[in-house]
Amino acid sequence: MDSIDCIVIGAGVVGLAVARALAQAGREVAVVESQKAIGMETSSRNSEVIHAGLYYPTGSLKARLCVQGRDALYAYCMERGIGHRRCGKLVVATSPEQLGKLNAILTQAHANGCSEVTAISAEAARNLEPALSCVAALHSPNTGIIDSHAYMLSLQADAESAGTAIAFDSRISRGRHAHGGILLEVISGDGDLIELQADTVVNCSGLWAPRIAAMIDGLDAATIPTAYFAKGSYFALGCKAPFSHLIYPIPEAGGLGVHLTLDLGGQARFGPDIQWLDDTDIAAIDYRVDPSHAAAFYGEIRAYWPDLPDGSLQPAYAGVRPKISPPDTPAADFLFASHGSPHYLGLYGIESPGLTASLAIADHAASLLGILPDKHRI
């Protein structure tokens, strides 16, 4: 049996950020990852957007950590030379009936500390984006895009430079409280069973987080959240997009609507839609994009870009959001929970804006573990 100070479960963007924060604070850290490389699930299947923090309920963890994490992420990218661009976005109302919702988003954004967000007229929006159709818009200059893989590689390098070891192709089979900590049984890709004793376990396994928590004896099972999975598909644009800003419609239930995002090469993509999955076998999730979904995409996109050419959408990729609120209910806040154990911290429901907030999420987790002071520089 090997003993270690901290075990982080999951090597997605949040797990890597948490491992980095703990290791740089002087803790001995190992990361256990079931995939063969970093960021193979939710972290590599998203819009790669740096969110400004407009939409989330004021005072929520999503609102606070998004704004803090956004600023920290821009600074980190500048320092490390990670590809990113603060391109800004427009949130558009495409009918007079949506103006009330647009104004409510503006009020929410200002309450969240995003005072730079402004309401602009349809004419002003078209001056920024001549191909755009809307009756009014919000301009968010602090929204941006990032090379998320380069970012994760940098986090991995930071963590490993501070002594972190990462075990890929290794999955948790069970755990229990023992010897003043938590004993985890880990199965390697070769089928070997390894026992790891940790003073502290941080569960950052995304889609798997509730299931892994349920595997650890000694946690209060009644407080472990239920997992819900929302698949979102993306379509790529097969021609050059006439936009330089990200374009977002009014949010819909469960997400931010089918929006237009750009990568650092200028390639446009649209998504995600929402498909709630009944099958909770995470390992069997089908990430293929159904080409027939394009029909609905054309209708939603043409509400703000009427000149979208026929036949220009091509299936790109899909991701699944690790939700802890069921369909037709308000999206749950990020959840950090110990389930009554001084040796465990679980991170649940870390969907958008998890990428943006990742550095702030890591520092918040470390603070909850008493590894960093409550107030510190991110």
- 33: confidence class by pLDDT, cuts 50, 70, 90: very high
- 375: confidence class by pLDDT, cuts 50, 70, 90: very low
pLDDT at 34 over 80: yes
Q: What is the pLDDT of residues 197-219, one digit of tens each?
A: 999 999 999 999 999 999 999 99
Q: In whole angstroms, how large is the CA radius of gyration of the chain?
A: 21
pLDDT at 145 over 60: yes
pLDDT at 110 over 50: yes
pLDDT at 2 (0 to 100): 84
pLDDT at 253 over 60: yes
In order of start, what are the domains of the chain with their CATH numbers? Answer: 2-46+149-225+332-368 (3.50.50.60), 87-142+227-323 (3.30.9.10)
- 374: confidence class by pLDDT, cuts 50, 70, 90: very low
Cα 128 from Cα 243, distance rounded (Å): 9
Query: Average pLDDT, stretch 228-236?
Result: 96
pLDDT at 251 (0 to 100): 84
